[in-house]
Amino acid sequence: MSVPPSGPPGPTTSQKSGRRTAARLARQPVSTRGATSAVSSGSGGRSGSGGTAAADTGTTLRITAGDPATGARPLSDPELLSPRLRRRRALALVVLTLIAPGSAQYVAGNRPGGRLALRIWLSTLLVLAALGLLALLRRSWLLSLVSSGWFLTLLAVFLVVGAAGWALLFLDAARLGRLRGAPPKTRAGVAGLTAVLMLLTAGPMLLASGNVLAGRDAISAVFGGNISRPPSDGRYNVLLLGGDSGASRAGTRPDTIMLASVNADNGRSVMFGFARETENIKFRPGSTMATLMPEGWDCGDQCLLNGLYTWAMEHRDRFPPGTKDPGALATKEAVEALSGLDVHYYVLVDLRGFQRLVDALGGIDVVVKKRTPIGGGTNERGGKNPITGWIEPGDQHLDGYHALWYARSREGSSNPERMARQRCVLTAILHQVSPQNAIVNFQKVAAVSGSVVQTDLPASDLGGFADLALQARSGRIKSVNFVPPLIKPWDYDPQVVKDTVRTTIEASESDESAPVRRTPAPARTTSGTGTKKPAPKATGGTAGPQQPDDPTAGDLSDVCTAG
């Protein structure tokens, strides 16, 4: 009778015990990460019939906390770790969310969600890198992009959504820490770190979103709806007006009249200042003002350059339909007639709003070389004004109130002196206001810009002009004021003004000193009298009996410096 062959022997009791021990070791909260445990498999086992005994005493099983055979994952299974390592794990997950949003979820939570967040984060970094490269290669393109309304709206939405999403990832990372049952100190530390990092990330993003929307609204209010014009002979000519609409004045009159001629390629600029009491302006043939005033703006000291704006606003019905600002149009055409240049755009700054603008920017630094009064002078309605203070010589940091008075004070000074101070203030703003300062105070600047600035500069050209302004900051801005002794604003040769403008621009292009004519032009005589015209009184008040004679051109350099 034959005996059937026996099959493979089943596991012995000691082998079963060893497997249970291995599984238990994998679950233990011990520092077994990478450690090994030796598990004896017993005294041995038999093979099948006729087999030999396996001498397996001393056989070891190597178990690691990350062994795929047991499914152990320390980052997703904190129960495998000691309390100290669990605390470190929770902190690491929160910090990972700061470095790479979504990474905590990828390694310890919802892997698909973490992968999506990481892709968004990496895409954002790539876009920022592309914008940085664009800033290096085509800065004007970048500035045009960031000044467009659709881009600013999209950016604001992205910042809000990004801030909310990042905050949720931080909260989820703290949840993945699984600190239930941990000491209160540990839980408080992780919660505090999470709150701080949420504030440091989502907070600035929400603030930036508000700034972006404020900038979009300001650009739309100030620059919207205007028409772009190409440069003339490679230059943009922009009329800068400083208007004063104070309570004691009838209407708005530009006390500051300057023409900025800017090279459209490199930003090299020349500034021309025109005295507000300039008389006898003959307009270009074919212009709107030549049609309205064929004989020109010429009626003695009642027809001064700064009074033209008020006249045009009071007679707006005489201008072509659709003229937004007759005063600006009339002043532009007057400066075109004086300078011989085409004026492309104008920028009118309300001096009362200018005070708030300087305050929003944090003030300006000016080197004052002559003591300047606050107050004083006379006006048409209030009589003599008292002097309430002084701006002393030396290095001065001026807030909006003092910067305004420094630019407009007339007591004891001439119009050329005041023009020099105004030029100092404008130069200080151009050279001292940094992009960082503007960003920090962006909402304040945007809030006042609509009431301070009026212009026909289109939003589509804003980026290009911003780039030119940045280029102009790095160079020296040449300037000429058409005041004595160069010309007498009430008695001058118009060709001298045009020739000076032309030669100064030519000199700026070759980076040479402008050959500005320093000798007075021959005096014009009034028709049929053979006598010189007397110096007029400026519209809107005089500087009082203390006003000295006009200083020479050399004296103007001693008034102030800035930049």
Using CA atoms of 313, 314, 319, 322 in order, give the dihedral in degrees to the nearest 10.
50
CA distance linking residue 91 with residue 89, whole number of Å: 5
Q: Which residues are CB-contacts of 149 (< 8 A; sequence separation ≥ 6)?
A: 216, 219, 220, 459
Identify the pLDDT of residue 33. 41
User: Residue 456 to residues 272, 332, 481: CA-CA distances in angstroms?
Assistant: 20, 11, 25
Q: Which helix (H) or strand (E) holds 260?
A: strand 253-263
Question: Which DSSP letter does residue 55 get?
Answer: -
Query: The tokens of 254 are what?
Result: 């530009």
Identify the pLDDT of residue 386. 86
Q: Which helix (H) or strand (E) holds 368?
A: strand 364-368
Alpha helices in 100-183 (DSSP H): 103-108, 111-137, 139-146, 149-176
Domain ranges of the chain: 12-42+55-72, 87-223, 235-561
Collapsing DSSP states into helix, strand and coil, what is residue 269? strand
Identify the pLDDT of residue 252. 67
Identify the pLDDT of residue 78. 63
Q: Which helix (H) or strand (E) holds 255?
A: strand 253-263
Q: Which candidate, 458, 461, 398, places its Cα nearest to that of 429?
A: 398
CA distance linking residue 334 with residue 282, whole number of Å: 8
User: How many CA within 13 A on the CB side of residue 206?
Assistant: 11
pLDDT tens for the chain, 563 residues long, are 445 555 555 555 555 555 554 444 444 444 444 443 333 334 444 444 444 444 443 433 333 344 444 444 555 566 666 778 888 888 999 999 999 999 999 988 889 999 999 999 999 999 999 999 998 888 888 888 888 889 999 999 999 999 999 999 999 999 988 877 778 888 899 999 999 999 999 999 999 998 888 888 888 878 867 788 999 999 999 999 887 665 444 456 787 899 999 999 888 899 999 988 899 999 999 999 999 999 999 887 788 998 999 999 999 999 999 898 999 999 999 999 999 999 999 998 887 777 888 888 888 899 999 899 998 877 656 667 788 999 999 999 999 999 989 988 888 888 778 878 887 887 787 776 666 666 666 667 777 777 778 889 888 888 888 888 878 777 777 889 898 888 999 889 999 999 999 999 999 888 644 444 443 444 443 333 333 333 333 333 333 333 334 444 444 556 777 75
* DSSP codes joined into one string, 167-233: HHHHHHHHHHT--TTS-HHHHHHHHHHHHHHHHHHHHHHHHHHHHHHHHHHHHHHHHTTPPP---BT
Contact 143, 474 (CB under 8 A): no
Q: Which candidate, 120, 74, 70, places its Cα nearest to that of 93?
A: 74
Query: The tokens of 487 are what?
Result: 């010309």
The neighbour count for residue 16, using CB atoms within 10 Å, is: 12
Look at the alpha carbons of 61, 67, 70, 73 in this order and tell me if their dihedral is positive or negative.
Answer: positive
CA angle 500, 503, 509 (to 5 degrees): 140
Superfamily of domain 235-561: LCP protein (3.40.630.190)
Identify the pLDDT of residue 191. 92
